Each structure stands twice: as structure tokens, then as C-alpha cells.
Structure 1
Amino acid sequence: MADRIQSFADFWPYYLREHSKPQTRALHYIGTSLVVLIALYALWSGSFLLLLAMPLAGYFFAWVGHFGVEKNRPATFKYPGWSLAADFRMWWYWLTGRLGPELERAGVKS
């Protein structure tokens, strides 16, 4: 496929453009934060069945953002691995205050 992205370096700006609205990103941050909290609690408590809730927590908020706010199709349908990695990268950059320059480089007005 000629239109298929071939590297994560090329995928990253595409991913950010697919999350151009702050509300979409905020919903992703909620979902990703819940995923991390569920994982930590499951490990701490030994309640490993809770790990099954991680995809639901993450994807629910992300998909509300895409279908309800951004009005686009989640990148995870076409690029599942890169999408998951980019979601955690976006979340980490947001937590550490480094997302703004990344959005600017991708052409997203923050």
C-alpha cells in the first residue's frame, strides 16, 4: 500500500494531527491515566483480573474523543501498535509539559 506509513517517526506527526482538538487529547489523557492506575493497582493488590479492564478504560475515552469530538476514525484501527505507543508518548509529553512543541512541529494549533 503506497499510502501506508512506514515508520514511527512518520506516524508520530500524523497521530498528533489526528488529535488536533484539546478535548480529544484530554479524553485520551483520562483513559491512559486510568490504564496506568489500573495496572499499578492490580500489581499492588494482586488482583490481576483487573488488568482485563485496561483496554476498556483506555479505548472508551479515546473513541469518545475520536467519534464524538474529533469526528475521525481512531488510528488504532490501521496502526494498532504505533497508535498505542504514540498514545503513551503523547500522555508522557503532556505530563512533562513537552507536548506543545511536538504539536507545533506536526502543524497542530494548540
Structure 2
Amino acid sequence: MSEKKYQSFAEFYPFYLSQHQNGICRALHYLGSAIALYCLSKVFQSGDWSYLLYGLIGGYGCAWIGHFFFEKNKPATFQYPLYSFIADWRMLWDFLTGKLR
């Protein structure tokens, strides 16, 4: 993990991408985000708030498997939880819009 203290999201995002170079790791992040969105939709559909917990477990579980087994690094979320949460959605958006391969 970098010792640098990021003062803005714009500074942090390139570091975040550097920690997600493995394709399987990124794919697991995208899968985790899809699971989280599905669970959020289930909250609205059913009114059952336990789906938020399932979304967190599914989302972070997929991402952490990607880091520990494929990327072989420590998730940035441990040091930068808010920036990492935002960056995960930004990375997904950049992938879906063709800005990332």
C-alpha cells in the first residue's frame, strides 16, 4: 500500500487504477458492483433492508477475492474507504463507457 496521503479524489484515482491491473480482479469488482446494484434493487422491490447487507457482502467479497488471490495486494479501501468506494463506481463507469479496456 502506498504511504502517500491523497488529498483529493483526482489524486487518488490513478493510484486506485494502478492497484487494479489484473483483468480478473477488475472483472470481480464489476461482478461485485452488479451484485450490489441487484441487492439495492431488491431493497426497493421488497422493502427488506437485509438486502443491503447482502449487497455489501457480495460487493466487497468479490473485490477482496480479486485483490487477495489475483492482484495480490491489499485493497485500498482499508486506508481510503470513501475514495475507494467512489473509485470502484468510477472504474465501472469508465469500463462501461469504453474509457478502460
TM-score, L = length of structure 2 = 0.91
Quick one: distance in 2 between partners of 1:58 and 1:20? 18
* Structure 1 residue 97 displacement after superposition: 2.0
Fraction of identical pairs, as percent: 45
Number of residues paired by the alignment?
99
Quick one: distance in 2 between partners of 1:61 and 1:71? 14
* Structure 1 residue 96 displacement after superposition: 2.2
Per-residue displacement from partner, 1:41-72 (whole Å, max 9, x unpaired)? 21112222211112101111101110100010
* Structure 1 residue 32 displacement after superposition: 0.6
Q: Unaligned stretches of 5+ in structure 1?
A: 101-110
Alignment match, 1:49: 50
Give the CA RMSD over aligned residues.
Answer: 1.2
Per-residue displacement from partner, 1:68-92 (whole Å, max 9, x unpaired)? 0001000000000000000011111
Q: Unaligned stretches of 5+ in structure 2?
A: none
TM-score, L = length of structure 1 = 0.84
Residue 64 (structure 1) aligned with residue 62 (structure 2): no
Alignment match, 2:98: 97
Alignment match, 1:27: 28
Question: Helix, strand or coil: the match of 1:99?
Answer: coil
